Structure 1
Amino acid sequence: MSAELRIFSYMPNPRVAKATIVARLCGIELDVRGAAPNELSDWLWDFEARPLSDEDKAKHEHLVRQAKTGFTARLFKTEAFLAAHPFGTVPAAFSADGEIGIFESNSIMRAVARLREGQHGLYGRDGLGASRIDSFLDAGLLFARDVQVYVLAMRGGAIPAHVHAGVTQAFASYMAGIERALSGGHGFIAGKELTLADICYVTELALMHNEFKYHELLAKNDLPVLLTNAARETYPLAFAHFDRLCAHEAFAPDMGPYLRTLKAP
């Protein structure tokens, strides 16, 4: 079977896992391309994304763009890539023919689900169901932005107090909402079925687990760790849901290896 959607991104990336988890649940073939973040400066950013040799780089010097958030080197982005992805970011998804670009991980996840729309309940059973799921996805974006800023700060070796304060507030707000959503006893965040809301939640919280690698940096800056046993006691339903889904057969191929790369205390 040929791929129905192509995705280019830095890897591993739990936000790409949003799409790959949906693909497993729906029986969809994806073509995922990428490398570690520090290696993407050696790649051609294009539908036909690929590593560049030194000779290739010389030939493609006219494609060089200044890197932005999360990257520090020059990047080789084609005009076709920027036409499909006007903000120039990854993960970047393409239709099978490369003509249509889809950006932002939640939108890519929705696109994969829509490839089998009507055959599952991942994006709701009707318009209202889909809108409720969208509500959780939109709330997740607020959490996701602060988590990304936090993770990038930790990776950069400095955590400004305002960054930690922002993610602390976002974490408390988001987790409290997820806890309340699960307290209804339906088993899943948006209702009685596994949906995109659950997938988004698991992958965004997985990204925050990068904190495990930086406990010493947090201590050096006199900043408290957020993912603690106390947090699990405060949000027991939310963390139990996270653990249960990480072990799910559609989640485990992504979540297992990713979380194992992060050293828990």
Structure 2
Amino acid sequence: MTAALRIFSYLPNPRIFKATVAARLTSVELEIRGAAGTELPAWLWDFDAKPLDASGRAQYAHAIRASRTGFTTPLFKTDAFLAAHPFGTVPAAFSPDGAVGISESNSIMRAVARLGRRRRDLYGADAYLESRVDGFLDATLLFGRDVQVYILGLRAGQVSAESHRAMSSAFHAFFTALQSALTGTKAYLAGPELTLADISFMGEMGLLFTEARHLALLEQHGLEAIAGRSAREVFPEVFAHVDSLVGHEAFAPDFGPYLRALEPAA
């Protein structure tokens, strides 16, 4: 059976969990290609993404490009890849024939939801609910950008009181809104049913939870984990929602192993 969508990414990547969770809920077939982020510089970035041996790297020497966010060494990106993905980033999704590229994890998730909408609607029953979900997705995307900057800094061994304060401010503003939403719906973020709003939020939380790997660095600078114990006390409804989703049958196959791998660090 041909997959409805092919996704190339570093693995594991909590942001592609948005697509895999949506796929389980809608019975959409996905094909995932990739490897650890440290291995992707030796991969061909293409619809037919694959690891390159020495002869392959020589064959595709013409495709060497300067790296971008998250990578520090040159990457092998084909012209076809860049035509489909002008921003040149991963995760990168493709239509089954490779003709159409879909960039950004929220858009890839939306594609899955649209492909499987007849089986289960993750967007909303009408234009008003769809637009409400879009509002959460837009806000989550802004929050996700803050999370990415913060986590990339930690991975580079860099953190300052100023950067930590900026991330903490963004976190509290976002979570205050989520707490209010959950207090109103008493179920899911956008209403009584699980939607893309919940799935997208969990993808960004997965990235934020990786700060657990950098607790020693934070402690050296006299700083606390932003998504740590004190945050759970301030935002109990939001973290109860997180815990509930982690145990959900569509989320658990991804988030269970991913979060267990973070436990020794935490």
Q: Same fold (TM over 0.5)?
A: yes
For the pair 1:149 / 2:173, whether they are aligned, the reply is no
Task: Report the 3-state secondary structure (helix = DSSP H, G, I; strand = E; otherwise coil) of the residue aligned with 1:199.
Answer: helix
Task: Please give the TM-score of this superposition, normalised by the length of structure 1.
Answer: 0.97
Task: Report the 3-state secondary structure (helix = DSSP H, G, I; strand = E; otherwise coil) of the residue aligned with 1:102.
Answer: strand
Task: Report the 3-state secondary structure (helix = DSSP H, G, I; strand = E; otherwise coil) of the residue aligned with 1:177.
Answer: helix
2:15·2:206 contact (CA, 8 Å) conserved in 1?
Answer: no
- Determine what percentage of the aligned residue pairs are the same residue: 55
User: Within 2, Cα distance between the matches of 1:161 and 1:95?
Assistant: 44
User: Within 2, Cα distance between the matches of 1:90 and 1:161?
Assistant: 30
How far 1:185 sits from its partner (Å)?
3.7
Deviation readout 1:201-240 (Å, 9 max, x if unpaired): 1121121111111111001122222122221111111000
Task: Report the 3-state secondary structure (helix = DSSP H, G, I; strand = E; otherwise coil) of the residue aligned with 1:96.
Answer: coil
Task: Report the 3-state secondary structure (helix = DSSP H, G, I; strand = E; otherwise coil) of the residue aligned with 2:93.
Answer: strand
Task: Report the 3-state secondary structure (helix = DSSP H, G, I; strand = E; otherwise coil) of the residue aligned with 1:184.
Answer: helix
2:33 paired residue number = 33
How far 1:89 sits from its partner (Å)?
0.4
Task: Report the 3-state secondary structure (helix = DSSP H, G, I; strand = E; otherwise coil) of the residue aligned with 2:262.
Answer: coil
How far 1:162 sits from its partner (Å)?
2.9
2:140 paired residue number = 140
User: Within 2, Cα distance between the matches of 1:121 and 1:183?
Assistant: 23
2:4·2:29 contact (CA, 8 Å) conserved in 1?
Answer: yes
Deviation readout 1:96-144 (Å, 9 max, x if unpaired): 1100000000000000000022432311111111110010010001110
1:171 paired residue number = 171
User: Within 2, Cα distance between the matches of 1:209 and 1:186?
Assistant: 24
2:3·2:31 contact (CA, 8 Å) conserved in 1?
Answer: yes
1:142·1:170 contact (CA, 8 Å) conserved in 2?
Answer: no
1:119 paired residue number = 119
For the pair 1:98 / 2:76, whether they are aligned, the reply is no
- State how many pairs are aligned: 265
1:149·1:163 contact (CA, 8 Å) conserved in 2?
Answer: no
1:13 paired residue number = 13
User: Within 2, Cα distance between the matches of 1:86 and 1:212?
Assistant: 33
Task: Report the 3-state secondary structure (helix = DSSP H, G, I; strand = E; otherwise coil) of the residue aligned with 2:124.
Answer: coil
For the pair 1:225 / 2:234, whether they are aligned, the reply is no
Instruction: Describe how 1:57-96 pairs up with structure 2 within 5 A.
Output: 57-96=57-96
1:6·1:31 contact (CA, 8 Å) conserved in 2?
Answer: yes
Task: Report the 3-state secondary structure (helix = DSSP H, G, I; strand = E; otherwise coil) of the residue aligned with 2:6.
Answer: strand
Task: Report the 3-state secondary structure (helix = DSSP H, G, I; strand = E; otherwise coil) of the residue aligned with 2:7.
Answer: strand
User: Within 1, Cα distance between the matches of 2:37 and 2:97?
Assistant: 26
User: Within 1, Cα distance between the matches of 2:124 and 2:211?
Assistant: 33
Structural RMSD (CA): 1.1
Task: Please give the TM-score of this superposition, normalised by the length of structure 2.
Answer: 0.97
Give 5+ residue unaligned stretches, structure 1.
Answer: none
1:203 paired residue number = 203
Task: Report the 3-state secondary structure (helix = DSSP H, G, I; strand = E; otherwise coil) of the residue aligned with 1:31.
Answer: strand
Distance 1:254 1:201, change over 3 A: same
- Give the letter aligned to residue 122 of structure 1: L
Worse-matched range after superposition: 205-214 or 220-229? 220-229
How far 1:160 sits from its partner (Å)?
3.2
Deviation readout 1:171-207 (Å, 9 max, x if unpaired): 1011111111000144010001000000011121121
- Give the letter aligned to residue 146 of structure 1: D
2:19·2:112 contact (CA, 8 Å) conserved in 1?
Answer: yes
Worse-matched range after superposition: 158-167 or 187-196? 158-167
- Give the letter aligned to residue 194 of structure 1: L
User: Within 1, Cα distance between the matches of 2:107 and 2:162?
Assistant: 29
1:18·1:109 contact (CA, 8 Å) conserved in 2?
Answer: yes
User: Within 2, Cα distance between the matches of 1:87 and 1:160?
Assistant: 29
2:23·2:113 contact (CA, 8 Å) conserved in 1?
Answer: yes
User: Within 2, Cα distance between the matches of 1:118 and 1:169?
Assistant: 40
User: Within 1, Cα distance between the matches of 2:30 and 2:257?
Assistant: 19
Task: Report the 3-state secondary structure (helix = DSSP H, G, I; strand = E; otherwise coil) of the residue aligned with 1:14.
Answer: coil
1:160 paired residue number = 160
User: Within 2, Cα distance between the matches of 1:145 and 1:47?
Assistant: 26
